[in-house]
Amino acid sequence: MEHVKAAIRTIPDYPKPGIMFRDVTTLLGDARAFRQAVDAMIAPHAGAKIDKVAGIEARGFILGGAIAHQLSIGFVPIRKKGKLPFATIGQSYELEYGTDEVEMHTDAVSAGERVLLVDDLIATGGTAEAAIKLLRRAGASVEGASFVVDLPELGGADRIRAMDVPVATLVAFEGH
């Protein structure tokens, strides 16, 4: 995974001082690293029956779409409130200051479907936790969660594992 890690750009002090932003857009622009990341995100689920991939806005759409294509299964976008055109269900979650909400279409998953949740990065895990709750409320079984980057000091991967969802990550960066 060294090529994948090397393809991720780090931007210091973004979006605020003290934050080291891990930018996967450079990975997406590197065909070899992008392919390696997609293949590695699928590998832990080889042989598992997955019906759909759910991707969290926005980079999770890119990765999740590629994974869904590779697996020849459907894709479910999980978006910020107010972005989807059809009837939705939503799940709020806590931010450092206030709350936010993610939504998906009411017909995005069927009861009993097995879903793989995908995003570019797991930090505190709040958005991923909300997405899992949303998928479960719709009747889906979340079979796993896959991320390119883990920020282990923030505890998000452990938070998702505590929800009985296996978590796979490709690379870890220390700090925030």
Residue 54 and residue 97: Cα distance in Å, rounded? 26
Q: Which of 22, 59, 103, 129 is catalytic?
A: 59
The 3-state DSSP class for residue 47 equals coil
Neighbours of 92 (CB within 10 A): 13
Nearest Cα neighbor of 149 from 13, 25, 17, 14 is: 25
pLDDT in tens, 72-120: 999 999 999 999 999 999 999 987 778 999 999 999 999 999 999 999 9
For the domain made up of 47-172, give the CATH fold: Rossmann fold (3.40.50)
Please compute the mean of the pLDDT values over residues 10-14 and round it to a whole number. Answer: 95
94 part of the active site: no
CB burial string 128-139: b at 16+ within 10 A, e below: bbbbbbbbbebe
113 is catalytic: no
- Catalytic position from the list 32, 57, 94, 96: 96
> What's the whole-number mean pLDDT along residues 162-176?
93
Task: Answer whether residue 175 shows pLDDT above 80.
Answer: no
